């Protein structure tokens, strides 16, 4: 078994978080590339709006991925109606800003439930089907925030770093079962998820550009799909420095070296 990137003729492309931002743009792009696409999110109306632009190639399967049973039912419904899922882009995720001086447990819990628990629920529903077929392709959407700690991102960044680790484990383990695993680590993308993020957002790209980069990466054998590289590689280089250099630099670049506003 030699895992490889999936092609439209292999089966369905399932995209979670397909009702908005990166997921919606990617669904449209994959449909244009000839894929039959299944999209999942909680809000049916927003899913329908995306499907309406998909020339009959995008199909809607609403689910809250924080529920393992609900996610299993969605995967089953996709395969019953459309056929085997050949490519899954596990993209659904939320950003909740954490105030480190007075953190809310609920905010941590919510972030981990969607970003980590939700991805795990998708994997549990999907992986046995793919390993049973001896073929499949899974791309987990993490973030460049995974490379190192950033202010306000102690929940989001931790969840996204965990996803990189999860993808690394699966890339190694699922190889002998014919399942190809990738991780996506975007920099800033202009989507509703950025509305709550008060940071400067250097080199921010549109969801359409993000979708273009992800589609290109999905066709490659690389483990990591990262963009825009001038930003994500600089961030990797920053976090490769000794902590004594990198963390003060992060504090300065993000203006967290100034006294808190009273
Ligand atoms: N935007 C960025 O700068 C950026 C950068 C790096 C990585 N990312 C990652 O890229 C992914 C997509 O982000 P985006 O910016 O496109 O965000 P977005 O526009 O807010 O879209 C998030 C999607 O996830 C769905 N979702 C949220 N909670 C869900 C749940 N419990 N069950 C099922 N679906 C759920 C949302 O639909 P419903 O609310 O209807 O469920 C929506 O379709 C996320 O994983 C994000 O962390 C984004």
- Considering only residues 68 and 192, tell me which one the structure prediction assigns the higher pLDDT: 68
**Quick one: what percent of the chain has pLDDT higher than 90?**
91
What is the Å distance from ligand 1's center to 97 Cα?
A: 14
Determine if ligand 1 sits within 6 Å of the CB of residue 186: yes
The yes-or-no verdict on residue 262 having pLDDT over 70 is no
pLDDT attached to residue 83 = 98
Query: DSSP string spanning 47-61?
Result: HHHHHHTTTT-EEE-
Q: What is the mean pLDDT of residues 13-31?
A: 98
Q: Which atom of ligand 1 is nearest to the CA of 204?
A: 3
What is the Å distance from ligand 1's center to 54 Cα?
A: 19
Q: Which atom of ligand 1 is nearest to the CA of 42?
A: 41
Determine if ligand 1 sits within 6 Å of the CB of residue 111: no
Q: What is the pLDDT of residues 179-226, one digit of tens each?
A: 999 999 999 999 988 776 667 788 999 999 999 999 999 999 999 999
Q: What is the mean pLDDT of residues 86-109?
A: 97
Average pLDDT over all residues of the chain: 96
Please report which residue ranges of the chain form alpha helices under DSSP H.
Answer: 21-32, 44-52, 68-82, 105-111, 119-133, 156-174, 207-218, 229-240, 243-253
Question: Which protein residue's CA is at the shortest distance from atom 39 of ligand 1?
Answer: 42
Q: What is the mean pLDDT of residues 105-111?
A: 98
Active site (annotated) includes residue 156: yes
Q: What is the mean pLDDT of residues 21-34?
A: 98
pLDDT attached to residue 204 = 94
Residue ranges and CATH numbers for the domains of the chain are: 8-230 (3.40.50.720)
- Cβ-Cβ contacts under 8 Å for 183 (sequence gap 6 or more): 139, 140, 141, 142, 163, 164, 167, 168, 223, 224, 225
The yes-or-no verdict on residue 123 having pLDDT over 80 is yes
């Amino acid at each position: 078994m030699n895992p490889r990137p999936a092609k439209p003729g292999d089966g369905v492309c399932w995209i979670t978080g397909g009702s908005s931002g990166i997921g919606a743009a990617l669904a449209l792009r994959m449909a244009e590339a000839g894929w039959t696409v299944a999209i999942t999110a909680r809000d049916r109306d927003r899913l329908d709006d995306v499907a309406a632009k998909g020339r009959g190639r995008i199909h809607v399967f609403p689910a809250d991925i924080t529920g393992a049973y609900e996610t299993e039912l969605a995967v089953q419904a996709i395969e019953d109606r459309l056929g085997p899922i050949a490519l899954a882009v596990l993209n659904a995720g939320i950003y909740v800003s954490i105030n480190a001086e007075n953190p809310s447990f609920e905010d941590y819990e919510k972030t981990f439930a969607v970003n980590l628990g939700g991805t795990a629920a998708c994997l549990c529903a999907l992986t046995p089907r793919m390993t049973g077929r001896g073929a499949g392709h899974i791309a987990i959407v993490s973030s460049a925030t995974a490379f190192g700690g950033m202010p306000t991102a102690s929940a989001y960044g931790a969840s996204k770093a965990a996803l990189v680790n999860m993808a690394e484990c699966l890339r190694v383990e699922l190889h002998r079962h014919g399942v190809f695993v990738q991780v996506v680590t975007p920099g800033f993308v202009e989507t509703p998820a950025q509305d709550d993020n008060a940071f400067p957002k250097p080199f921010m790209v549109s969801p359409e550009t993000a979708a273009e980069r992800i589609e290109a990466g999905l066709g490659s054998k690389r483990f990591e799909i990262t963009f825009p590289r001038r930003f994500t590689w600089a961030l990797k280089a920053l976090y490769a420095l000794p902590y004594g250099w990198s963390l003060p630099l992060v504090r300065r670049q993000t203006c967290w070296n100034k006294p808190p506003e009273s």
